[in-house]
Structure 1
């Protein structure tokens, strides 16, 4: 099916009008939104900024390890995942409290030692009057 030049021109004009209408109604608002949102896009970091952040992280790690070594907790360095020194100090205090509690709970507690009461004291001293008093005071 062949179209005449007039028909082809008319079809071309219809396509162009539809395209222009779509561009103004659909595409332009989307492009404007994209431009507006691009201002909030974070800026890519330069090599210097990345190197500086790596140095800061390395310095903080060294400082953390030094503080833990001073406190005698360098063996626990892997368990301290913190972002600043305040958090580190709080966690060190918590760990020290836990370790102190464990030391007290694990200390030697002798079995078989009974507290000495008045009766036992009197019997040890061969004091029959004290033994009788202790029995009646119970």
Structure 2
């Protein structure tokens, strides 16, 4: 290795050159990219704007609650996640039609609930005398 001795001015000049080179090659492109991305950054809201947004959200929740209550669906409020009242009305009508179908499907459907006449009862028991008697009783009435 060669023993080179640099003066303080030479060291300062080399440092300045490298700093300038780094600024041009690394820092400036990063700053440019950051500045171009700043246009997409959401606007910082003031306290008043935040309060207005909170009030609007509360108002919307109350409006949804009232709509559900008027339709008799307030028990199902947790299942309705909507962005607008129009969306809510569409979902409510679909839900109500589904509930109607479920009521019909789950309603009482009698089976084996036929009116049994005496002849059928005797026939089931295998009582032929009773069967003949029930037929003859209709004739003599």
TM-score (ref. length: structure 2) = 0.69
SS in 2 for 1:44: coil
User: For residue 83 of structure 2, what is the aligned residue in structure 1?
Assistant: 83
Deviation at 1:92, TM superposition (A): 0.8
Deviation at 1:39, TM superposition (A): 2.8
Structure 2 residue 16 is the aligned partner of structure 1 residue 48:
no
Aligned-partner Cα distance in 2 for 1:113–1:52 = 64
Deviation at 1:113, TM superposition (A): 4.2
TM-score (ref. length: structure 1) = 0.70
Any idea what the Cα deviations from partners look like across 1:37-78, whole Å, max 9, x if unmatched? 223322101111111111111111111111111111111112
* Structure 1: tracts of 5 or more residues without a match: 115-119, 121-125, 127-138
SS in 2 for 1:77: helix
Deviation at 1:9, TM superposition (A): 2.4
* Structure 2: tracts of 5 or more residues without a match: 115-119, 121-134, 136-141
Runs of 4 or more, structure 1, over 3 Å off, are: none
RMSD: 2.6
Question: How many residues are paired up?
Answer: 115
Deviation at 1:81, TM superposition (A): 1.2
Aligned-partner Cα distance in 1 for 2:83–2:15 = 61
Distance 1:11 1:84, change over 3 A: same
Larger mean CA deviation between 99-108 and 20-29 belongs to 20-29
User: For residue 129 of structure 1, what is the aligned residue in structure 2?
Assistant: none
Structure 2 residue 23 is the aligned partner of structure 1 residue 23:
yes
Structure 2 residue 10 is the aligned partner of structure 1 residue 10:
yes
